[in-house]
Amino acid sequence: MAKRLVIDPITRIEGHLRIEVELDDTNTIRDAWSSITLWRGIETILKGRDPRDAGLIVQRFCGVCTYVHYEASIMACEDAFGVKPPPNARLIRNLTQGIWFLGDHIMHFYHLHGLDWVDIVSALKANPRSAVDLAKSVHPNPWNCSETHYKAVQDRLARFVKSGRLGPFANAYWGNPSYKLPPEANLVIASHYLDALQVSKTAAAAQAIFGGKNPHPQHLVVGGVTCVLDVLNPSRLGEFLYRSKEVNDFVERALIPDVVLAAKYYKDEGLAGVGGGVKNYLCVGGFPLDDEGKTFLFPRGFVKNRNLVKALPIDEAKITEEALHSWYQDDKPQHPYEGTTIPKYTGYDQEGRLKGNEKYTWCKAPRYEGEPCEVGPLARMIVGYAAGDKKIKALIEGTLKATGLPATALFSTLGRTAARAIETKLVGDQIETWVNELVANIKKGDVRTWTPCDVPKEGQGRGMTEPPRGSLSHWIRIKDHKIANYQAIVPSTWNCSPRDKSNKRGPYEESLIGTRLAKADQPLEILRTIHSFDPCMACAVHVIDPGGKIHQFRVA
Amino acid sequence: MVGKHYRRLLEQCKIRMDRFEKEYPAPREDFQALLKERGVSRRDFLKWTSFMTAALMLPPIFKPMVTRAAENFSRLPVVWLHFAECTGCSEAFLRSSYPNVDDILLETISLEYHETIMAAAGDQAEKCLEDCIHHFPGKYVCVIEGAIPQGLNGQFMRLGPKGETGVQIGKKVTSKAAATICIGSCAIWGGIPSARPNPTDAVGVSKALGISTVNIAGCPPNTVNFTGTLLYFIMFGAMPPLDGQGRPIWAYGKRVHDFCERRPHYDAGEFVEQWGDEGARRGWCLYKVGCKGPYTFANCPHLRFNDHISWPVMAGHGCIGCTESGFWDTMAPYEKPIHEATFGGGERTVDKIGTVLTVATVAGVAAHGVLSAMRHGRTDKKDGTTTGAGKE
């Protein structure tokens, strides 16, 4: 007899997510549904406003992947206005996005995802001296590594446990057999969990040098950036560089070794392809390396059916969204420019569960060529690898060699987590290059930070970028100098997508199929896979052209 | 000379702290040891104490009390609820790094329930929440981030294993809380989801639940304003004096325009006319490109953000007035000055408008804020709970 397991709230994510799975007698997942349980309707709010204001508003889609929607919206406007920002602005945008890439991925690995791999209570049993040896086996000079420090961390954790008030560590799954790290590895990574809090703050502060603050920086305008005082001030550039190096140092000496360490013990899961999910990967191109938008640090492309040797070019006309299983009217697939969506909430069934065969989420189902696609670090690394990008290929091959895993192990929960660490290094290594480019450009006498422009009477445009969580595209239509239509297809819409008309599951759902739970009442394995996507729900839920009053829709 | 009023207040504070130390669970963390571990010297800590005492508008005799409150900070159980929000306020709180003592305080805060960072999920997460309500009734502080959508009978948002709405969860948790703090614009007055045309009929917590709340305004707010308010609560068992909008006066009592570093340029008539122009390179006033500092009450220019590194006006972008109610509608468009017609005439009247706002705020304060703090102090004695003061 199949049993239904409901996990709500999924914690350690942005926003509100519910996962329901069906387990068979061996506690193996046979079917899965992911549902977003909050709708805010920000695109409805945008209608009729000044297009230049959209960036600041859509930035509030999400406070975790802050900045990225701001940038995508500004890019969509630039496309619609027909304006190109000057080189300094492109570099500042790459730097602000890049530094938070590091901060965000660090925060994700340790604070949002780490506790799925690391058993905090087991760390109390570790021998601090052996922990030092273990840390040194994966890096010659590990971050904050000493017997006394590890001992202090243990004492601090012990105090927590002894007080009986575990705070965020309470009621978790400690001791679950699915935790595979030895106590020493748990201690090393737990110590970095605490250190990472400081490091991600440093990254946030670095972003704020240009952005004014983090979360929600405020330094972009259509046509360029506003932080001209900081751009032209060598000491500010120095402060930025100093902080970015500190963060990058943590990536080199803590993040990468910790992921390699985890991979050693969770190797079997990678080999078995646990959490692999859908077989198509999409990347819309991230971090432009030239002012024409031709070359990217993350190459643009589509990989079909896990073909690691060929990345196909993207045809934007093939992107659709449908709402057959989403709480909106209009079930047919629509291109983002043309979409019309009206909320149609039908609620849960009588037992308070999702109606899996009907509508069951506020998330729509984006498809490329009618196929569900995974987006995010794994997709970027796979597309880059398939496209033959030299830097990406070298990094992936190096990591596979260090862990002794074949390339096929990438298609798993572990692979997704490893891909995130790999690209953190790729971006981290690039930051100094961009600072140098900026300095060289200013030295040439180019101090432009803004290209003059004005709102056109009519127009449409799209902005595409690759924030930490995956492919992001914003689509805007302007009429009478005002926003007529706005839509965002965000990374989590792709990944958290429900089923479509051909009954193909979305990436979260597909990735859970076949996973076996060690304990049916502890959804640890589910959390591990779902978190590996770095879910971010608030931004995944949106609407275009409501066209009707919402309160008139009744709950079925 | 310290006035009689303050000496009496100090006595009250001492009584409260004694009671707090007796009635609340033991500190989860050794604060002084952590300071040492982080390399915060005694001198730095004393500097922070003076800063915080002054920021809270208290005379120096309260410094030992601020220290004591900081040492006892991790005794206070906190439940943090997420409604219709973007998690930006939580993130601001996790990334705060100024002043460094605040930083440590926030790391030691005893979060019994916070969805963004807790290890447990689903039923186990729910249990954390229930445990806290059960073990610390009338003692914990409820922090709410995000608005409550009222459309569809609140079902635009359903949370937890039982699929409860914001109102259901909010009532359950706030009814047993010692005080409810709204963090960020959404929880206070609906924020972004409530911007025109408010598709989900989102409102602030105070309106949805019919309770009074303490409002830490901003999108996201400066975390120091949050820490300070919690310290004040630990010291006095009541929330600090509030303005007419429920914002602590110590943090939101001054107008951005009045202590902005670009103010001299405003007075000299030197304005940025368009982005990246000569004026922008010289750091001139941003009023003409839409700065809403003249209409906004907040301490951003003073505290700045992220390790005191910058704030929006320093980054060359105007203030968008994010600490003011309904700013997504009232302050738009953000790149233009508020239309002349709105306030009856050009930038010359900016100061006049500011003065009017100030007078209104001060009047609200006099009539309500300070009194309500005292009133709630008494409530505290009577039944052991206080709901904090707020807009009525």
User: Quick check: B287 and B335 in contact, CB under 8 A?
Assistant: no
Q: What is the CATH number of the domain that holds B292?
A: 4.10.480.10
Contact B119 A56 (CB under 8 A): no
Does the CB of A256 have a partner CB in chain B at under 8 Å? no
- CA A545-A547-A552 angle, to 5 degrees, is 130
Q: Are residues B162 and B284 in the same domain?
A: no
Least CB-CB distance to B160: which of A9, A115, A159? A9
Q: Are residues B78 and B101 in the same domain?
A: yes
Q: What mean pLDDT do residues B206-228 have?
A: 94
pLDDT of residue B380: 38
Least-confidence region, from B142-156, B170-184, B341-355, B368-382: B368-382
Least CB-CB distance to B334: which of A53, A152, A204? A53
pLDDT of residue A15: 63
Strand arrangement, sheet containing A458-465: A458-465, A472-479, A482-489
Calculate how close chain A gets to B237, using CA atoms only, in Å: 22
Q: Are residues B39 and B155 in the same domain?
A: yes
Q: Are residues B194 and B154 in the same domain?
A: yes
Least CB-CB distance to B87: which of A63, A201, A452? A63
With CA atoms as reference, the chain A residue closest to B110 would be A167
Catalytic residue annotation of A: 14, 62, 65, 69, 469, 492, 536, 539
Q: Is residue B371 part of a domain?
A: no
Q: How far apart are CA A355 and CA A228, in angstroms?
A: 53
Please report which confidence band the pLDDT of residue B102 belongs to, taking 50, 70 and 90 as the band edges. low
Q: Are residues B276 and B187 in the same domain?
A: no
Q: Is residue B374 part of a domain?
A: no
Q: Are residues B143 and B158 in the same domain?
A: yes
pLDDT of residue B373: 39
Total of domains in chain B: 2
Strands B77-82 and B110-114: parallel
Contact A63 B97 (CB under 8 A): no
- ipTM confidence score: 0.88
| Residue that is last in its domain, among B250, B265, B296 | B250
User: For residue A499, what are its two tokens?
Assistant: 């089923």
pLDDT of residue B346: 44
Contact A8 B316 (CB under 8 A): no
Contact A200 B95 (CB under 8 A): yes
Q: Are residues B277 and B196 in the same domain?
A: no
Only one residue has tokens 């202090």, namely A152
Q: How far apart are CA A473 and CA B229, in angstroms?
A: 40
Q: Are residues B263 and B164 in the same domain?
A: no
Q: How many residues does chain B have?
A: 392
Q: Are residues B242 and B132 in the same domain?
A: yes
Q: What is the CATH number of the domain that holds A263?
A: 1.10.645.10
- For residues B26-65, one letter each, b for 16 or more C-beta atoms within 10 angstroms of the residue's C-beta and e for the rest, the string is ebbbbbeebbeeeebeeeebeebbebbbebbebeeebbeb
Residues of chain B positioned with their CB less than 8 A from the CB of A12: 115-119, 121
Three-state SS for A505-534 is: CCHHHHHHCCCECCCCCCCHHHHHHHHHCC
User: Quick check: A84 and A291 in contact, CB under 8 A?
Assistant: yes
Find the helix or strand (DSSP H, E) in which A75 lies: helix A68-81
Calculate how close chain B gets to A483, using CA atoms only, in Å: 13
A279 CB neighbour count, 10 Å cutoff = 17
Residue bearing the bigger pLDDT, B90 or B29: B90
Domain with B288, as residue range(s), is 256-357
Residues of chain A positioned with their CB less than 8 A from the CB of B88: 60, 62-64, 66, 215-216
Contact B120 A171 (CB under 8 A): yes
Contact B316 A228 (CB under 8 A): yes
Total of domains in chain A: 1
pLDDT of residue B32: 86
- Tens of pLDDT, residues B108-128: 778 888 877 777 778 888 888
Q: Are residues B177 and B65 in the same domain?
A: yes
CA-closest candidate to residue A252, choices A67, A40, A426:
A426
> Which one of A90, A228, A542 makes the best mutation probe of the B interface by having the most chain B beta carbons within 10 Å?
A228
Q: What mean pLDDT do residues B44-64 have?
A: 90
A435 CB neighbour count, 10 Å cutoff = 19
Q: DSSP letter at A339?
A: -
> Which one of A60, A349, A483, A522 makes the best mutation probe of the B interface by having the most chain B beta carbons within 10 Å?
A60
Strands A3-7 and A17-23: antiparallel
Does the CB of A228 have a partner CB in chain B at under 8 Å? yes
Mean pLDDT score of chain B: 84
User: For residue B124, what are its two tokens?
Assistant: 């186990």
User: What is the C-alpha radius of gyration for chain B, rounded to an integer number of angstroms?
Assistant: 21
Strand arrangement, sheet containing A29-36: A3-7, A17-23, A29-36
Give the pLDDT of chain A (556 residues) as one tens digit per residue: 578 888 877 777 666 788 888 888 899 999 988 887 777 778 789 999 999 999 999 999 887 778 999 999 999 999 999 999 999 999 999 999 999 999 999 989 998 899 899 998 999 999 999 999 999 999 999 999 999 999 999 988 888 777 666 667 777 888 999 999 999 999 999 999 988 988 988 999 999 999 999 999 999 999 999 999 999 999 999 999 999 999 999 999 999 999 999 999 999 999 999 999 999 999 999 999 999 889 999 999 999 999 999 999 999 999 999 999 998 888 889 888 877 667 888 888 888 888 888 999 988 999 999 999 999 999 999 999 999 999 999 999 999 998 889 999 999 999 999 999 999 999 999 999 999 999 999 999 999 999 999 999 999 999 999 999 999 999 999 999 999 988 888 898 899 999 999 999 999 999 999 999 998 888 899 989 999 998 876 444 432 222 222 222 222 2
Residues 279-338 of A with CB under 8 A from B: none
Residues of chain A positioned with their CB less than 8 A from the CB of B153: 555
Does the CB of A223 have a partner CB in chain B at under 8 Å? yes
Residue B390 has pLDDT above 80, yes or no: no
Q: Is residue B372 part of a domain?
A: no
Q: How far apart are CA A4 and CA A306, in angstroms?
A: 31
Q: What mean pLDDT do residues B31-35 have?
A: 85
pLDDT of residue A332: 87
Domain with A111, as residue range(s), is 3-552
Q: What mean pLDDT do residues B245-271 have?
A: 96
Q: How far apart are CA B176 and CA B157, in angstroms?
A: 22
CA dihedral A237, A239, A240, A246 (to 10 degrees): 140
Q: Is residue B240 part of a domain?
A: yes
Contact A527 B121 (CB under 8 A): yes
Contact A223 B275 (CB under 8 A): yes
Please report which confidence band the pLDDT of residue B366 belongs to, taking 50, 70 and 90 as the band edges. very low
Q: Are residues B223 and B314 in the same domain?
A: no
Q: Is residue B390 part of a domain?
A: no
CA-closest candidate to residue A144, choices A194, A94, A214, A219:
A194
pLDDT of residue B376: 41
Q: Are residues B187 and B271 in the same domain?
A: no
Q: How far apart are CA A76 and CA A474, in angstroms?
A: 6
Q: How far apart are CA B279 and CA B283, in angstroms?
A: 6
Calculate how close chain B gets to A556, using CA atoms only, in Å: 11
